[in-house]
Amino acid sequence: MATSPRPPAAVAEALQFRPRWWWDPVPDWVLDHINPAAIREIAVVQLTSQLETLRVQEKALEASIAILRKQK
């Protein structure tokens, strides 16, 4: 449920949607073939790319602010 861009409804801890434990891990091809070290590696890649995106966005915002200030 992590894909929703909307703010989540305020649901108490005990009532959260937690399906994961229920599943039979046999056919869970993606996660089953990844060990914890690889999961950490993927997380590092994801965070690094996020950081890069934010840096680019920061530069773009700075440029936008500069343009707006000039127009003022």
Partner 1 sequence: MSAFPISLRASGQAKPASTSESAVVARDTRRPVLLIGFLRQGNLGLGYLSATLRQFGYRVEVLDFESDVDELVAAACRLQPMLVGFSLIFQFYVRRFGALAQALRDSGVDAHFTIGGHFPSLSSQDTLNLVPEVDSIVRFEGELTLLELTDRLSVGADWRDVPGIAYRGAAGECQVTPAHRLIHDLDTLPWPDRDYEPESILGQRAMPLIASRGCSRTCSFCSIHVFYRAVPGKVVRLRQPRQVVDEMAYLHHERGVTIFLFQDDDFPLYGKAWQRWTRDLIRELYRAGLVGRVIWKLNCRADAVDPELFAEMRDAGLYLVYMGLESGSEDGLDTLNKGVEVAQNLVAVRMLKELGLTFEFGFMMFDPSTTFESIRANVGFLESIVGDGSNAAVFCRMLPYDGTPIKESLAREGRLRGDVCDPDYDFLDARINTLYEDLNDLVYVAGWIHGHRALSPKINWAWNELAVMDRLFPRLRGRVRYEQTLRAITRASNDLLFRLVLDLTAAHEQGRSHRWSEARLAAPCDRLLERLAAARDGFVARNQTVLLRTLENQRLAVAA
Binding region for partner 1 (CB under 8 A): 1, 3-6, 8-12, 14-15, 17-19, 21-23, 25-32, 35-36
Exposure class string for 39-55: b at 16+ Cβ within 10 A, else e = eeeeeeeeeeeeeeeee
Q: Residue 8 is encoded by which pair of tokens?
A: 């989540």
Q: How far is the CB of 43 from partner 1 (least distance, A)?
A: 13
Q: How far is the CB of 52 from partner 1 (least distance, A)?
A: 21
Residue closer to partner 1 by CB (options 9, 68) is 9
